[in-house]
């Protein structure tokens, strides 16, 4: 029976605590016991790829299709909808005559499950939607062993929250035993009818037309382990044909997250990965695969010369929207619309900064060292610009390659006005905090001539009541201590991690508005029920109701703060949209390598996700499969097309 869960409620107090603990533990685990190294030791790099190992290059007699999907496994409705979409025999985007066949591969781009990774969460939030999509309503399977697609996945930060334990069991179960190895070979698992084939959390796949796809694993903090570096260096040196074109899959869009004032923190590991293939040199020892010996006779570079690999396309998720950036002829596509809550797009901007290493394919000679300049301080310009749409469907007014459109994104932000309703457990948590605070104030009042909090605030003079309220705060140290803790919380919550002054200002302003509205609410609520303070029971009821009202008002102020930051300051995109948990505006990529060697990218969008949960008593039955209405976001985007050969969309 499929348990169809709703979208993750990120402001659920219990979830916040559990996720925080798992994140802290997994971060420490990643530092002291990195499972990638153990898996690498059990799967030694082969001098040459085994026959057919991650090799799809023989499928070059006709167009080769594959799919990219990221950030799945949150709510049932969007995950099931996207699983159905990528499982269909073909996708016919609305408003076009295109019929795009299902991919031979499905590459998952990270964060396969939310909020944290474990076997149960993977089963309920990821496996079951994909299994039901493979066998609609548990009917006939969509394909047989002969035409079964393959599945590859890279981990995101949420997959790492159990140290990759569940990820390895699902996606890296396969083992390839050589003659010199102990043990036997082991096949991968079937997930949603697809065959998993990888043996590590990263992989290098050979595609037709001298294209390669690298899937990388950057752990939680962008750390690339040495065995992974060795693996990709070996692939670039010994496996990849000279002049190969590379598609790089990474866990997050470092170019969009980078702080231009301090780029190393977010950009260092990515910069290394994007330059890795291009820096490969022809080796002195010839370990070329046999299939290249005749075809490449006389064309292999001399030892020490560059292999000439080119990075052409970078794919990532983590941000749950669609956006395409460009730098020179390279495309950087963010497509995290696999099933998690929607992220905004209106806050996105071009990113320009200077970095200590040149861009891929460059030796840095275009920015020469100036006389007297310190080589250690030399910097190279990087500019990632949001691209214009290749083509726009009829009625589409958004010129930039964004989905949803910036205007739509701003409109969706207004749902934060409903923050206390959409996240009703959060005001309850705040109410408990205010109950403790008001309890302290009542105790303080009993130690003074005021007698009780109700008597202190029950005056007809609202100004006098406010003065009494503020005076009671400083009768004992506990109330100021709690206020200091709250101020520290608002300071650390402010989305200015590298600007302490701005962070302190936003934290102080947020705290000031919280204090102002909560003080007014408490004063009015207890003042209106001052007559109840004649006994312990009714005074307790008054205190409880005032605290509940303060919690609701405080949550409303919190929602207004998020709305202000998301729309005007372009800050808190994650916190401001995880609060409203939008299921719609999902997306994935369908890619085609044409027989002439060009790559075409078709970004597919789904505005509305059908509801398939049914009534509560029907949740264990077969889910409904209402029609999906996909459309082409832009494109197709043509990459590395030979100039002499036209490309047919």
Over residues 332-342, the mean pLDDT reads 96
pLDDT for 254: 94
**Token duo for residue 72:** 């799945």
Cα separation, 589 vs 334, whole angstroms: 10
Cα separation, 292 vs 602, whole angstroms: 31
CA distances in angstroms from 636 to 68, 319, 432, listed in the order given:
15, 22, 54
What percentage of the chain has pLDDT greater than the value 70?
88
- Please provide the distance, in angstroms rounded to a whole number, between the alpha carbons at the two ends of the chain: 42
Cα separation, 238 vs 314, whole angstroms: 22
pLDDT digits (tens, 9 = 90+) for 447-498: 887 788 888 887 777 888 888 888 888 888 999 999 999 999 999 999 988 7
CA 166 from centroid of its chain's CA atoms? 18
Q: What is the dihedral of CA 618, 621, 622, 627, to 10 degrees?
A: 10
pLDDT for 3: 75
Whether the CB-CB separation of 43 and 311 falls below 8 Å is answered with: no
pLDDT digits (tens, 9 = 90+) for 77-104: 999 999 999 999 999 999 888 999 999 9
pLDDT digits (tens, 9 = 90+) for 135-165: 876 666 788 877 889 999 999 998 888 888 8
Cα separation, 367 vs 375, whole angstroms: 12
pLDDT for 617: 42
Whether 180 shows a pLDDT value over 80: the answer reads no
**Band (275; pLDDT cuts 50, 70, 90):** very high
pLDDT digits (tens, 9 = 90+) for 164-179: 889 988 998 887 766 6
**Token duo for residue 49:** 């790829």
**Band (294; pLDDT cuts 50, 70, 90):** very low
Q: What pTM does this model have?
A: 0.91
Q: DSSP label at 276?
A: H
**Token duo for residue 274:** 């994007």
For 421, the enclosing helix (H) or strand (E) is helix 419-422
**Band (293; pLDDT cuts 50, 70, 90):** low
pLDDT digits (tens, 9 = 90+) for 187-237: 888 999 999 999 889 999 999 999 999 999 988 777 888 889 999 999 998
pLDDT for 448: 84
What percentage of the chain has pLDDT greater than the value 90?
52
The helix/strand/coil state of 415 is helix
If we measure between CA atoms, which residue out of 553, 558, 570, 576 comes closest to residue 413? 576
List of residues 6+ apart from 180 with CB closer than 8 A: none
Over residues 377-402, the mean pLDDT reads 87
pLDDT for 449: 75
Q: Tell how strand 310-316 and strand 599-606 pair up.
A: unpaired
Cα separation, 211 vs 59, whole angstroms: 12
Whether 540 shows a pLDDT value over 90: the answer reads no
For 15, the enclosing helix (H) or strand (E) is helix 13-32
Write down the mean pLDDT value for the chain: 86
The helix/strand/coil state of 287 is coil
CA distances in angstroms from 567 to 406, 408, 508, 578, 646, listed in the order given:
11, 12, 20, 15, 43
If we measure between CA atoms, which residue out of 611, 626, 621, 644 comes closest to residue 78? 611
Written as one string, the DSSP assignment of 176-217 is ---TTSSS--B---EETTEEE--SSSSEEEEETTTEEEEE--
pLDDT digits (tens, 9 = 90+) for 574-623: 999 999 999 999 999 999 999 999 999 999 999 999 887 554 444 556 67
């Amino acid at each position: 029976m499929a348990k169809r869960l709703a979208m993750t409620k990120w402001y659920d107090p219990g979830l916040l605590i559990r996720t925080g603990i798992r994140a802290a533990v997994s971060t420490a685990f990643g530092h002291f016991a990195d499972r990638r190294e153990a898996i690498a030791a059990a799967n030694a790099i082969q001098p040459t790829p085994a026959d057919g190992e991650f090799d799809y290059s023989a499928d070059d007699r006709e167009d080769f299709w594959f799919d990219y999907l990221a950030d799945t496994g949150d709510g049932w409705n969007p995950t099931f909808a996207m699983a159905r979409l990528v499982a269909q025999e073909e996708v016919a985007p609305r408003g076009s005559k295109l019929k795009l066949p299902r991919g031979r591969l499905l590459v998952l781009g990270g964060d396969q499950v939310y909020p944290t990774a474990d076997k149960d969460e993977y089963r309920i939030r990821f496996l079951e939607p994909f299994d039901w999509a493979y066998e609609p309503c548990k009917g006939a399977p969509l394909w047989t062993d002969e035409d079964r697609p393959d599945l590859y996945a890279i981990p995101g930060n949420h997959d790492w929250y159990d140290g990759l334990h569940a990820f390895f069991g699902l996606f890296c179960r396969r083992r390839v035993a050589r003659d010199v190895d102990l043990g036997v070979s082991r096949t991968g698992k079937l997930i949603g009818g697809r065959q998993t084939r990888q043996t590590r959390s990263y992989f290098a796949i050979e595609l037709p037309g001298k294209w390669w796809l690298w899937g990388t694993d950057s752990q939680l903090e962008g750390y690339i382990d040495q065995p992974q570096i060795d693996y990709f260096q070996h692939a670039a040196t010994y496996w990849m044909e000279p002049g190969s074109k590379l598609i790089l899959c990474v866990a997050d869009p470092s170019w969009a997250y980078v702080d231009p004032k301090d780029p190393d923190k977010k950009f260092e590991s990515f910069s290394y990965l994007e330059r890795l293939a291009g820096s490969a040199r022809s080796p002195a020892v010839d370990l070329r695969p046999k299939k290249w010996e005749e075809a490449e006779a006389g064309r292999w570079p001399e030892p020490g010369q560059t292999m000439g690999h080119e990075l052409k396309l970078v794919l990532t998720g983590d941000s749950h929207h669609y956006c395409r950036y460009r730098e020179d002829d390279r495309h950087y596509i963010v497509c995290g619309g696999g099933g998690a809550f929607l992220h905004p797009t209106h806050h996105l901007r071009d990113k320009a900064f200077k970095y200590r290493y040149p861009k891929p394919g460059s030796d840095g000679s275009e920015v020469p060292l100036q006389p007297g300049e310190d080589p250690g301080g030399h910097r190279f310009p990087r500019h990632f610009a949001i691209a214009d749409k290749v083509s726009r469907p009829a009625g589409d007014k958004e010129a930039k390659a964004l989905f949803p459109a910036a205007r739509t994104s701003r409109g969706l932000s207004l749902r934060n006005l409903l923050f206390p309703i959409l996240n009703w457990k959060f005001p309850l948590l705040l109410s408990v905090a205010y109950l403790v605070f008001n309890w302290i104030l009542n105790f303080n009042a009993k130690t003074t001539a005021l007698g009780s909090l109700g008597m202190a605030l029950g005056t007809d003079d609202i100004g006098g009541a406010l003065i009494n309220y503020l005076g009671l705060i400083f009768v004992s140290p506990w109330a100021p201590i709690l206020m200091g803790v709250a101020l520290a919380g608002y300071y650390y919550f402010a989305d200015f991690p590298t600007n302490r002054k701005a962070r302190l200002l936003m934290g102080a302003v947020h705290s000031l508005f919280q204090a102002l509205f909560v003080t007014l609410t408490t004063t009015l609520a207890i003042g209106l029920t001052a007559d109840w303070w004649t006994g312990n029971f009714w005074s307790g009821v008054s205190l409880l109701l005032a605290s509940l009202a303060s919690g609701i008002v405080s949550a409303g102020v919190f929602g207004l703060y998020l709305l202000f930051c998301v729309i005007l300051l372009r800050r808190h995109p994650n916190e401001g949209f995880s609060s409203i948990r939008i299921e719609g505006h999902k997306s994935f990529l369908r890619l085609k390598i044409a027989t002439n060697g060009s790559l075409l990218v078709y970004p597919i969008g789904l505005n509305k996700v059908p509801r398939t949960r049914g009534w509560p008593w029907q949740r264990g039955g077969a889910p409904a499969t209402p029609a999906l209405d996909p459309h082409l976001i832009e494109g197709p985007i043509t990459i590395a097309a030979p100039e002499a050969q036209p490309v047919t969309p």
